[in-house]
């Protein structure tokens, strides 16, 4: 990629994502191996979890529309971090960046756990934990290597894997519906909870399938014409995934018996085998799931670096995350650091948890919902404070309703995560406070607002800016060690 940049507050590297690549990033980030493992995770709740899936789909669409509207006003990299910072200040921005960063590397751990289940259709069929961990580590570091090679390669890899992964999902969500046997569904509510409790608990797991719908907004500065392409990629990508998800999960529930489904590590493979007989169809689905997982890990690894990079440029994340390497301007430190953390939590999970996928999924969902909640709140705040000036009454009422639904859905998702998950999620979120204290110390501030100063010159290569020219909060002056550190990172 050329290092030549445009001038102005939203300058970005020369090679950018068009609408197809941006849509592939959204779809590829949403459709990982999670959907291929999800029916097994939902099986303990029974078919009532399909009701939860529909509710989650409606909430995800409300979030997609909300992110699309936010990206039109703030077409810069950072997504939820930028929206929270612009609306509520830098501390809210930091908490969102920290929480989302945890989401992406913990989410990678969950994706790779599901991915291993499909790899082990062919190797390590006895599911030896040592070999499972080794396979998982290979799955994490291949996408990291692709991301380190540059944005152009990352985008091309994402498009190819997105196309390949959709074939079996489309077949299962269409042809698979013809082979549904009602006897396979079992009890409507197979859990020991009330109907509402079962729906809430299943929804918290199902939401993991839609994590990544904000992907285009996170990398908006790397998308051509972001005001137009980011909202379209977000909404259209989420809609496509929603149709495939609901119908595909219904087909699996109806073609695999309830008892078999709960113990399956590759439910789509089992469903395909039950439909056609033999093993060749299931093997083909397993290959597609393996490709899908690598594609999703590729997209999420990019997000692992983009969010902290955006915050680091504003002095709200350690300066090492703002370092760029090579002509492509790759934030290499963020990619490597996040992959190391994902590797550690994967190893820990395999040695400590029996239900590895579900435990890691719930943690990553909770830490994702917090930025979602702040983003919906930022949209609602802007609509109530400024909406009357630029929107018709009908459009204002519609947008307020969508933003309010997105907020309510986020609260519901937190409630359904369970007490233990909320405890661990709150703990890892608050671990960010010492980091924030360290960053504030290096800026020489204690509560007061530092006098504004012109932004420092940043030599080429230069990646997308993280603040919109319409943002009302000026960039704070950077003093002392931290300012010198940032300047050195761009030398």
Q: What is the pLDDT of residues 311-355, one digit of tens each?
A: 888 888 888 898 888 766 788 899 999 999 999 988 887 776 556
CB proximity list for 298: less than 8 A, separation 6 or greater: 28, 143, 146, 147, 154, 157, 158, 161
pLDDT: is 372 or 125 the higher one? 372
b/e sequence 18-37, b meaning 16+ C-beta within 10 Å: ebebbbbbbbbbbbbbbbbb
- Closest Cα partner for 14 from 1, 28, 33? 1
Question: Token pair of 201, please?
Answer: 């608990």
- Closest Cα partner for 38 from 56, 17, 26, 61? 56
Neighbours of 17 (CB within 10 A): 26
Q: What is the pLDDT of residues 237-265, one digit of tens each?
A: 888 888 888 888 899 999 999 888 888 87
Determine the pLDDT at residue 372: 92
Question: Is the pLDDT confidence value at 164 over 80?
Answer: no
Determine the pLDDT at residue 254: 92
What is the C-alpha separation between 3 and 292, in angstroms, rounded?
31
For the chain, give the percent of residues with pLDDT over 90.
17
Question: Is the pLDDT confidence value at 297 over 90?
Answer: no
Q: What is the CA angle 300-302-304, rounded to 5?
A: 70
The confidence band for 123, taking pLDDT boundaries of 50, 70 and 90, is confident
Question: Is the pLDDT confidence value at 401 over 90?
Answer: yes
CA distances from 184 to 167, 189, 369 (A): 25, 14, 33
Question: Token pair of 94, please?
Answer: 């930091």
């Amino acid at each position: 990629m050329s290092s030549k940049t445009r001038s102005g507050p939203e300058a970005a590297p020369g090679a950018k994502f068009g609408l197809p690549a941006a849509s592939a990033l959204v779809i590829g980030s949403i459709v990982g191996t999670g959907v291929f493992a999800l029916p097994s995770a939902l099986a303990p709740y029974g078919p009532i979890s399909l009701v939860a899936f529909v509710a989650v789909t409606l909430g995800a669409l409300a979030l997609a529309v909300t992110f699309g509207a936010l990206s039109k006003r703030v077409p810069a990299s950072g997504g939820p971090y930028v929206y929270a910072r612009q609306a509520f200040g830098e501390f809210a921005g930091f908490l969102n960046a920290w929480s989302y960063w945890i989401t992406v590397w913990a989410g990678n751990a969950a994706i790779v756990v599901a991915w291993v289940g499909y790899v082990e259709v062919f190797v390590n069929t006895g599911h030896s934990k040592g070999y499972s961990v080794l396979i998982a580590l290979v799955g994490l570091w291949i996408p990291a290597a692709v991301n380190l090679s540059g944005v152009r390669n990352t985008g091309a890899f994402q498009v190819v894997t997105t196309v390949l992964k959709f074939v079996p999902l489309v077949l299962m969500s269409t042809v698979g519906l013809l082979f549904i046997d009602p006897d396979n569904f079992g009890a409507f509510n197979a859990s020991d909870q009330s109907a509402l409790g079962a729906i809430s608990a299943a929804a918290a797991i199902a939401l993991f399938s839609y994590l990544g719908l904000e992907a285009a907004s996170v990398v908006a500065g790397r998308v051509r014409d972001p005001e137009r392409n980011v909202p379209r990629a977000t909404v259209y990508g989420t809609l496509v995934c929603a149709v495939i998800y609901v119908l595909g999960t219904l087909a699996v529930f109806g073609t695999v018996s309830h008892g078999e489904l709960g113990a399956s590590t590759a439910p789509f493979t089992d469903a395909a085998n039950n439909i056609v007989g033999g093993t060749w169809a299931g093997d083909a689905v397993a290959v597609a799931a393996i490709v899908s997982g690598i594609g999703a890990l590729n997209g999420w690894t990019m997000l692992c670096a983009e969010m902290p990079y955006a915050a680091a440029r504003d002095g709200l994340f350690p300066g090492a995350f703002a370092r760029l390497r090579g002509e492509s301007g790759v934030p290499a430190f963020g990619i490597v650091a996040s992959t190391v953390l994902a590797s550690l939590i994967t190893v820990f999970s395999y040695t400590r948890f029996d239900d590895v996928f579900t435990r890691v999924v719930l943690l990553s969902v909770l830490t994702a919902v917090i930025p979602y909640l702040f983003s919906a709140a930022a949209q609602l705040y802007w609509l109530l404070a400024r909406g009357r000036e630029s929107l018709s009454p009908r459009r204002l009422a519609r947008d307020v309703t969508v933003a309010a639904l997105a907020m309510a859905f986020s609260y519901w998702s937190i409630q359904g995560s369970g007490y233990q998950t909320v405890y661990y999620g709150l703990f890892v979120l608050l671990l960010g406070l010492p980091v924030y204290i360290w960053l504030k110390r290096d800026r020489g501030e204690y509560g007061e607002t530092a006098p504004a100063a012109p932004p420092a010159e940043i030599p080429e290569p230069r990646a997308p800016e993280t603040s919109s020219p319409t943002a009302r909060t000026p960039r704070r002056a950077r003093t002392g060690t931290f300012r010198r550190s940032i300047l050195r990172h761009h030398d």
